[in-house]
Structure 1
Amino acid sequence: MRDRPLDVGWLRIFEAVGRLGSLTKAAQELGLSQPAVTYQIRRIEEQLGATLFHRSHGGSRLSEAGEMLYRVVHSGLERIDEAARDIRRRARAPAIRIFTDYGFAAYWLMPRVADFRRLHPHVEVHIVASQSLEDESAGDVDAAVLFGERDDFPEHARLLMPERVVPVCAPGFLTRYGPFEDTAAVARAPLLHLETSGVPRWLTWSTWLAMHGVTREPAQGDLGLNTYGFVIQAALAEQGIALGWIGLVDTFLAAGTLVAVAPEVQRQTFGYWLIPHQPATAATQSLTEWLISQA
């Protein structure tokens, strides 16, 4: 019900016919009969003194006057629907939907959300996680924590956690394959890769090695995985060396289940950025301020 469009009468009917190019399809979408849609369009044409559609067996095509009206009506309805969504979101009981990737959700956000809920027991927090940063479900959220570079995000985005990466592996793997006295020795070991579609925003093994002057082709024994959770699980299972993002692997390093085996690399313009929905609700503002304090 929260996404049901506001009833704005003939505007909605005219827009549907113009967009779909069919009286029948418009009637089906709006839950009306075709005669009712036809009657309403004729009434609009009578009031304007102009033909809005050229009708044929193939459908209804906008006339020149119809095109002029359609551009304004379509744009106006989009803005009305957007305003209605914002009003309905504010009218609901305080609840925050936050979008991020699986790794950040599992290893940084989830362990901390319980603390926020203790401080704000009246606020619900819904975490929407996806490996794709362009996920369709990200549109209807109150805030997002996304990985990338400063220029990837709007001006009001806040840097939550700069990118700091250190190669890690399980102690048993280090015993079998180590010690890794230099970067070249790391390059000779089986590596765990986080696979992404398109140009990767995260640091990759190729980038990390290049920063140390080492080139390496994918080798037998390497393992590619499509989520960071799988990469960490493979590292814990002694399958290879993983790139560990500081902030995500801290608990494993503290517990000794993963150990650092090479120098840390930092990229200050990259990291996790907090992007609150604008304008932010009071509940969203509370969460964003709390996340910044935690980071």
Structure 2
Amino acid sequence: MAQRHLDLGWLRTFDAVGRLGSLTRAAQELGLTQPAVTYQIRRVEEQLGLSLFHRSQGGSRLTEAGEVLFRAVRASVERIDDAAQETLRKARDPAIRIFTDYGFAAFWLMPRVADFRRLHPKAEVHIVASQSLEDELERDTDAAMVFGARGDFPPSAKLLIPERVVPVCAPGFLERYGPFDDPAQFANVPLLHLETTEKARWLTWATWLAAHGVAREPEQGDLGLNTYGFVIQAALAEQGLALGWIGLVDHHLAQGGLIQVGPEITRHDRGYWLVPSPSAHGTTAALLDWLINET
């Protein structure tokens, strides 16, 4: 079914003629007569005192002035159409959409959303997870919960969990390779790395070890994985030492599946931030407030 567009008068008419290069085709697209389209274009030209199109038997080609106006009108029409569709979507689908990464979704967010839905059984929550966070703040979501520094986010962002990182491993791995009395010993055992195509915004083994005066890069025997869930699964399977983010590995530490085997590093300027949509209200605002209180 064709999308219904808001009536933007001359803007949509000018956009159609500029895109299609033809008064006739623009009239057909808009469901108007060609004289009606011609009239609207002439009215705009009269108001500006400029010709916007070169007219010929082959169609209507934008003048230099027309090109300038067309670029602005095209962008405006697209943004208005997108906003209108978003308004309709939210009216039809009141679900709360939250964007985050896979690890935070699995280990922190989903258990708490489950608790919230027990208190608010009619609330519909969609968690949108991605390992690539390059465009997280541009997505069609009601809030983003993403990792970074204070300067990465707008003033409305709230810090949910500061970055607190400890080395962890399974009890069986500790029996084979431990005990670990000094971080320098980690340089001689298999390490589990969270791989990323972007510049890491979180602590890596290289930066964690460097903070303790140990130089070590990934080497043979290590294991690289592209999601944090895989890293934790590999650690539970006694495949190596992992970096454990407090807030994400708490359950495994409490249950004894993982053991802290080294000192903690805390960076209070970094962590997981809640970035709400400016339009968040009602049940969305209630959920976000509830999640903030959970921290």
Give the TM-score of the pair, scaled to structure 1.
Answer: 0.87
Are the equivalent residues in 2 in contact too, given 1:13–1:37 (CA < 8 A)? no
**Is the 1:141–1:277 contact (alpha carbons within 8 Å) kept by the matching residues of 2?**
yes
Query: Which residue pairs with 1:117 in the alignment?
Result: 117
Give the residue type in structure 1 aligned to 2:164. R
Deviation at 1:192, TM superposition (A): 0.4
The answer on whether the counterparts of 1:15 and 1:70 sit within 8 Å (CA) in structure 2 is yes
Superposition deviation, residue 264 in structure 1: 0.8
**Residue of structure 1 equivalent to 2:229:** 229
Q: Which residue of 2 aligns with 1:248?
A: 248
Equivalent-residue separation in structure 2 for 1:179 and 1:263 (angstroms): 14
Structure 1 residue 43: deviation in Å?
2.6
2:101 paired with 1:95? no
Distance 1:272 1:3 in 2: 38
> Take 2:196 and 2:232, find their aligned partners in 1: how far apart are those partners?
16
Give the whole-Å Cα distance in 2 for the aligned partners of 1:237 and 1:120. 37
Q: Deviations over 1:53-103 (max 9, x none)?
A: 336799854213323532553354355335424533553453200000000
- SS state at 1:176 partner: helix
Residues 211-261 of structure 1 deviation map (CA, whole Å, 9 limit, x = unaligned)? 101101322110111111111111111110011100000000011011111
Q: For the structure 1 residues 192 and 34, does the alpha-carbon distance in structure 2 shift closer, same or farther, using more than 3 Å as the test? A: same
- 2:207 maps to 207
Q: 1:246 to 1:32 in 2, by over 3 A?
A: farther
Gaps of 5+ in 1: none
Instruction: Measure how far apart 1:134 and its partner are.
Output: 2.4
SS at match of 2:139: helix
Give the distance between the partners of 2:63 and 2:199, measured in 1 at CA.
Answer: 44
Q: Residue 34 of structure 1: CA displacement?
A: 9.7
Q: Is the 8 A contact 2:27 2:33 kept in 1?
A: no
Change in 2 beyond 3 A, CA 1:17/1:211: farther
| Deviations 1:138-163, CA, capped at 9 Å, x for gaps | 51100010100000000000000000
Change (3 A) 1:187 1:123: same
Counterpart check, 1:275 vs 2:255:
no
Could you tell me how far apart the structure 2 residues matched to 1:85 and 1:175 are?
58
Question: CA RMSD of the aligned region, Å?
Answer: 3.0
User: Which aligned pairs between 1:178-217 and structure 2 lie closer than 5 A?
Assistant: 178-217=178-217
C-alpha displacement at 1:8, in angstroms? Answer: 2.7
In structure 2, distance between residues paired with 1:237 and 1:243: 15
TM-score by length of 2: 0.87
1:76/1:179 Cα in 2 relative to 1: closer, same or farther (>3 Å)? same
Aligned-partner Cα distance in 2 for 1:90–1:57:
45
The percent identity for this pair of structures is: 63
Q: How many residues align?
A: 291
Assess, with a 3 A threshold, how the Cα gap between structure 1 residues 116 and 8 changes in structure 2: closer, same or farther: same
Q: Which moved more, 1:58-67 or 1:118-127?
A: 58-67
> Structure 1's 33 and 75: CA in aligned 2 closer, same or farther, altered over 3 A?
closer
1:98/1:126 contact within 8 Å kept: yes
- Cα distance, 1:17–1:137 mapped onto 2, change above 3 Å: farther
Specify the code of the residue in structure 2 equivalent to 1:65: A
8 A Cα contact 2:13 2:40, kept in partner: no
Q: Give matches, 1:26-65, under 5 Å.
A: 32=28, 41-47=37-43, 48-49=45-46, 50-54=50-54, 61-65=61-65
Q: Hey, what's the Cα distance between the residues in 2 that align with 1:223 and 1:58?
A: 63
Take 2:234 and 2:58, find their aligned partners in 1: how far apart are those partners? 58
Q: Contact 2:27 / 2:37 at 8 angstroms: preserved in 1?
A: no
Q: What's the offset of the Cα at 1:122?
A: 2.3
2:40 maps to a residue whose letter is I
| Counterpart residue identity of residue 223, structure 2 | L
Matched, 1:263 2:271: no
The code of the aligned residue for 1:95 comes to A
Q: Secondary structure at the match of 2:65?
A: helix
CA distance in 1, matches of 2:32, 2:3: 24
Query: How far apart, in 2, do the equivalents of 1:245 and 1:15 lie?
Result: 51
In structure 1, the residue matched to 2:175 is 175
2:168–2:241 CA contact under 8 A, matched in 1: yes
Q: 1:91 to 1:31 in 2, by over 3 A?
A: farther
Whether the 8 Å CA contact 1:95–1:283 is kept in 2: the answer is: no
Structure 1 residues 161-203: Cα deviation after superposition (integer angstroms, max 9, x where no partner) = 0000011111111111111110011121100000111211111
